[in-house]
Structure 1
């Protein structure tokens, strides 16, 4: 191996021995992920750990000024193989890295040392770190002042790790670090990567013990003056300020939210109402969602005049749902409106008809599936909000007109049934799936009158080219809405069982009831439900399955890490149990409809439903 060759060259007195040593580390580093996995699983016959540690220990005895690139490579290798090398070697290199950034060593060594610190600090023994953390922070601040555009990202990343590892000692350096980071943020506001890095460092400072209040006091006056005169600010500064403000509001105590509200709330709403800048409006929308999430109902009385704050929030929602706006401007309106529903439902209730009408108009003029999906989540959450009077919500949709459709129910359910498989996010999937179950459980007679997209009709054989697709667009069957919903719920149940490995039942077994369903029942009246074709069996996307995996991992307390929705009671719903109850209740209380709906299921869907009914 090249490493052994480098040792032989070193013993022979060659001045270039280090090149082979450094090249060997580079080669190992390029395969770090694969080597770590192989070592952990025992799939490799070579002991990578021993080889790597031998190479790293050999470097410790050499001069950093004489072999700067070798030492830089060693630090980088420690960062890549931190999970593999022993605690002793890691701690030694952690100390060496801390010493390197404080010393007069060549720039490549400091770059490598920063990489090592960024990786090792969060993993290291706090008893080892704490005595040295002030020195590390001071050295990183000095490096930050000297950093070039090429190294700024790395220094900020390392500083963030150091602050998170500093504990209470970070408080002592907050007056020094915060102004410098704010200056970096302001100077690089047009660079999204650096400005985001700076905000993340400020967030680490905010979360450090004792740093929140002084940081907010430092930020608010400047941000407030920027937002009150947005039209005279440099490009990107207003949007960046709103992003910074959202970070401050995230998980902040009510007293801090109130202080930010007093300084910046009105200006934020005005930006939503008056700005034409997409970035400003998007960030202002997220900021308003954070205001509502942090202030909750108390926020409504902070504005002074009764009802003024609610009016401003509703005006902002109206602007963001304006169908004349470009769709990209409204991308985050879903999170904003969702917070209105979750935090101030009683105050929002009288405005729900107007809200639904605005949502529908926004959906009809949007070609962005992500925006439509986020608005469907809002409709789904309103379904839950209407429980137990879901029939009343359906009647409300029937009463709201929709351009080109009989009513809002027809339009919304046509879109929802098509997009359900594309909805992403653990919370979003749970809300929409359970809402569909609530809708079908009403057995409202108007649902069966709505026909939605079923399965794709294959009109010709062979490959479909772009030109052929333009001439002959895809054609789909039309099926009754309850059939589609039943199929979507069965799809979800199938995915749940695949994720959790539910049941050891023999899938080939069919009880008599299911044989009747599979063979059909000629006595079922067409009056029960309109005739149906087989529903679409479109497979969910990989992203959807990944999101579903999060939903079904119900024992993981971190499954729902979205700060804006973590307190929604729907997070406590066990989706598998919920769907089981839905299918069981329909089976027990309305067997004819259940059996008719089952005729449209695929074999895998039918098997999934059968499993839960046999329990």
Structure 2
């Protein structure tokens, strides 16, 4: 069977699969249906081979659609009937009075097969859904006593198979829960997921999610294993993870019904657990811990749903507040049941938003006391750290600030003694703590202690990008605090030493050091870096960037240098290297020059940001070297290949042209780049790549500068020929793409009109009649007609046309939220990002471009009319609607 599975998977070509399966599948089915002749393990392996057959059919269904359809229509119903027959055999006979659990192997493969069929040919399952769901819930119910005996109570060892392998019950339940989840997610058999079936399913998931004896033994001493199974992105294969995933699907598909089922189930579990406790059971806590974990695992979605119900006036579908006030506090002191005690902390933190301030403080203080208790074990301490992390993220700063210094001091000792997942949790918690109230409570002594501990973690883990990222967040938050000077004085010596000592062999050290330096600079005050900070950092920074060829080191170093230019360019300009006399500005220009000369464009993706901020911040200091810089950038355009790198080269010119058009154009017209005028190279590159520019600020500055270029009416631009539209030749699909050739003014209008049509980041007009505001225009009309005034200067039909063209209300992207994080804060606050050029309610691009087109039409700027006539008929029609019949 193993040979067959590998043969089908790897050795058959597409045209061989169907003939082989026609002969193989009937043989497999005969073996599967002959328990008196073949062992359970052999029969289970036929299902494994059948799974591979189904996947093979799925892979060739596009090449042979008719044959595959015929095969699946004839094969799958027969096999699905066989699978149902196998499931209908009494499940208990596989685990009772038996020296082995070989029979379970068949059921395991049945549900794995059902999952494969649902993925590949889901329609085939439709007639069988209710039967299969009923069988699933029956198996969960019938096998639970066995699970309780062998796994929860540890009453006996799980029997080995006849081939001396362990067949676990969880290997059946996990694919079973996955299968039910798939059906719930697909929306099929919707009527089954109602009423008694639904309540039973939720009850069973809560029961099967209990912590086993094996879990308890492993997690009691292995903090990493405990943290890993608790993480939101856990990859562990367990009943608990599969069960919580299923609950998440149910919550998504039937939100209120699921939450109400949670309420009923958790009330039942609390009552039954109390009864078991009073009767002397030592396992009374297990169902309770599982129920709290189940409800807690859906915390974020539950809170959103509860808010929606309250806002709609329908009341709360579950009373979490009652649990937090009347039930959970009594579990916080049960140190003899550490997993329940820890779960209580975590559960409360997951619903911290529902806690009143004073009660939240009590919970947080209780978690802190656990951290400080020497006798507390691993599970409860780890749970306390996770709870503190959640509390710090979800509580009001005013509530958390009084306890923040104490938390930071308590977390510190965990940093040198944890690793892997546990260290990640501790670092994330520290990052959340130092963010409280922007770190205003952080003293210099505390900041130094945190920096020392974090640097120790960094030196031990400087290959791990996750740790470095979290440490960078901590450093940035510390730098934003009042203890900034103490932070940089403590951190920079170690980081600069690492930059100096690192070579390309251990380049990850320098790369990580630059990442932390960038975080410190980014968090520095807007008033500047402080005396001596750049002098401390500069020699190592420039030396590292001059010597390294490592891509990550270069990128992180350029990012750090860009932050320095943004935060304190004057300190950079004023500095000079005592050894060489080189100025700080010379060092920046050398870094730029090296990247422009290099062939690895991925290492230069951030060079454009550095150049832009240098131009924006350095002022007159850069004027003496500006011609050489611009010439080097134009020369590099000829060999640049990637869109991102080309954007880095073009956008600085767009910025300069927007601010100093004629000066820059005069300069470029007098410079040659690879035998062609530099202005020609720039404009051709710009026109070919303008529609690929990413971010919020770059497309805006590009649009402004293109408008300015068009309006300049320069003879050199009027006669410059650039690529136009793609020439479509359907009969020659494999030949290289060809383009028309058009004068630059025509291409500029095409780009600007396309920007208006697609909306760029301004995809909607987003206004109504009551928002009327005049669009400034020199079209000669001092007064608009009443109809035009109601429609932003357009007639009703023109207004309707533009509204359709630019998109419906509510779809505007002309705001920073639409491209959150695409540009840094300096560019988001730049006038180009915030200006409303026409002082109207139209979004930026719409307002500016509409006004621009109207003015050009009225004045025939740049021979506008002649340029418009060279547009496509569709573009001409749009332009006529935009500017009117000029």
Q: TM-score, normalised by structure 1?
A: 0.79
What is the aligned residue count? Answer: 570
2:363 to 84, 93, 97: 93
Cα pair distance change 1:594/1:291, threshold 3 Å: same
Please say which structure displays the higher CA radius of gyration.
2
**1:14-72 Cα deviation digits (max 9, x unpaired):** 65554444444444445444433333333989855743334444232225434444444
Q: 1:227 maps to what in 2?
A: 499
CA distance in 2, matches of 1:111, 1:133: 18
Q: CA deviation at 1:328?
A: 1.7
Cα pair distance change 1:564/1:497, threshold 3 Å: closer
2:746 to 483, 498, 501: 483
2:329 to 60, 64, 71: 60
Q: Which runs of no fewer than 5 residues in structure 2 stay unpaired?
A: 1-260, 770-790, 837-843
Kept in 1, the 8 Å contact 2:526–2:567? The answer is yes
Kept in 1, the 8 Å contact 2:854–2:882? The answer is no
SS at match of 1:13: helix
Q: CA deviation at 1:182?
A: 1.3
Q: CA deviation at 1:6?
A: 0.8
SS at match of 1:168: coil
2:490 to 218, 221, 238: 218
Q: Which runs of no fewer than 5 residues in structure 1 stay unpaired?
A: 462-467, 515-536
Q: CA deviation at 1:198?
A: 1.7
Q: 2:535 maps to what in 1?
A: 262
SS at match of 2:276: coil
Q: CA deviation at 1:607?
A: 6.4
Cα pair distance change 1:423/1:80, threshold 3 Å: farther
Q: 2:627 maps to what in 1?
A: 353
2:660 to 380, 386, 402: 386
2:682 to 388, 406, 412: 412
Cα pair distance change 1:511/1:143, threshold 3 Å: closer
2:273 is equivalent to residue 4 of structure 1: no
Q: 2:305 maps to what in 1?
A: 38
Q: 1:428 maps to what in 2?
A: 698
Q: 1:300 maps to what in 2?
A: 573
Q: 2:116 maps to what in 1?
A: none
Q: 1:187 maps to what in 2?
A: 460
Q: CA deviation at 1:550?
A: 1.8
Q: 1:157 maps to what in 2?
A: 428
1:340 to 603, 608, 614: 614
Kept in 2, the 8 Å contact 1:114–1:158? The answer is yes
Q: CA deviation at 1:185?
A: 1.4
Q: 2:816 maps to what in 1?
A: 550
Greater mean deviation of Cα atoms: 178-187 or 272-281: 272-281
Q: 2:854 maps to what in 1?
A: 584
SS at match of 2:363: helix
Kept in 2, the 8 Å contact 1:29–1:77? The answer is yes
**1:408-466 Cα deviation digits (max 9, x unpaired):** 334333332333233222222222221112111212233343344444444338xxxxx
CA distance in 1, matches of 2:763, 2:503: 54
Q: CA deviation at 1:321?
A: 0.8
SS at match of 2:376: coil
CA distance in 2, matches of 1:29, 1:457: 59
RMSD: 4.0
**1:157-195 Cα deviation digits (max 9, x unpaired):** 211222232533544422322211111112111111112
Cα pair distance change 1:79/1:129, threshold 3 Å: closer
Kept in 2, the 8 Å contact 1:357–1:400? The answer is yes
Match runs of 1:362-377 below 5 Å: 362-377=636-651
CA distance in 2, matches of 1:208, 1:172: 12
Greater mean deviation of Cα atoms: 163-172 or 331-340: 163-172
1:243 to 512, 515, 535: 515
Cα pair distance change 1:479/1:83, threshold 3 Å: farther
Kept in 1, the 8 Å contact 2:569–2:617? The answer is yes
Kept in 2, the 8 Å contact 1:499–1:549? The answer is no
Q: CA deviation at 1:581?
A: 3.9
Q: 2:407 maps to what in 1?
A: 136
Cα pair distance change 1:78/1:563, threshold 3 Å: same
Cα pair distance change 1:94/1:508, threshold 3 Å: farther
CA distance in 2, matches of 1:91, 1:144: 25
Kept in 2, the 8 Å contact 1:430–1:551? The answer is no
1:501 to 751, 766, 769: 766
CA distance in 1, matches of 2:876, 2:352: 46
SS at match of 1:502: coil
